[in-house]
Structure 1
Amino acid sequence: MNTPNQWTKKELVAYILLFISNSDLQQSVEETNYIRSRVDKKTYTNVYKQFNKDNDYQCIQNIIKVVKTHNYYENDYAELFADIKLMIYADGESNEMEEATLSFIRKILKE
């Protein structure tokens, strides 16, 4: 996979959704299916491989780097946050860790 400053918008979305869905240390089948519905199979596979190599600190740094490098959301993250919310509830329930991670992502993206 390319370096973070070369990621596409879809790669960024997949990476963030993986980060959120794994914040509670388990990714449900429903969450996986939701992420796969947002990106093509090749993108998911490539991003998943990268995500599995990275620790939490590296994930956060990658997300910050991509957001600072690209202007995919033009400082309006409503679309991204809507995707995240849908993924959080994909398995029918919200999880405190996922909600806390969403709040954290919101904070770092808006800085």
Structure 2
Amino acid sequence: MSDQQQHWTKTELQIYILMLCANADSNVTEEELELIKSKTDKKTFDKMYEEFKGDTEEESLEKIQDNLVMHEYSHKELTQLRKEMFEVFFSDKKFSMMENTLDKILDNILY
């Protein structure tokens, strides 16, 4: 993790959140990665993937919280983000207890 806070675009933040969702059960599948890649361009995906790989879950949540306050999200945007989070959670046809816990944590951060 870098000491300097990164200021991400909404798209970068979205991709980072989806990566955290994919990793919630500590098992990132190829399907999850492909789904996330389909939401952005290769450069943005690669940048955020490299950032994500070096972070603990606690660091990830802190970065998400820090970046969320820099953007004003409409209710519609948040609803769309939640929908995409659930697409990642359910891409393996399961919703594990760890994914459920992360969903509740992110719900508290987002709203």
> TM-score normalised to the size of structure 1?
0.88
Q: How does 1:1-111 map to 2 (within 5 A)?
A: 3-4=5-6, 6-71=7-72, 73-76=73-76, 77-110=78-111
For residues 23-45 of structure 1, give each alpha carbon's deviation from its aligned partner in whole angstroms, at most 9, with x where no partner exists: 11110111111101111111111
Indicate the RMSD between aligned Cα atoms, in angstroms.
1.8
> TM-score normalised to the size of structure 2?
0.88
SS at match of 2:69: helix
In structure 1, C-alpha distance between the alignment counterparts of 2:42 and 2:92, rounded to whole Å: 20
SS at match of 1:39: coil
In structure 2, C-alpha distance between the alignment counterparts of 1:91 and 1:40, rounded to whole Å: 23
Uncovered stretches (5+) of structure 1, i.e. residues with no partner: none
Give the superposition deviation at 1:97: 1.1
Count of residues paired in the alignment: 108
In structure 2, C-alpha distance between the alignment counterparts of 1:40 and 1:96, rounded to whole Å: 31
Report sequence identity in percent. Answer: 28
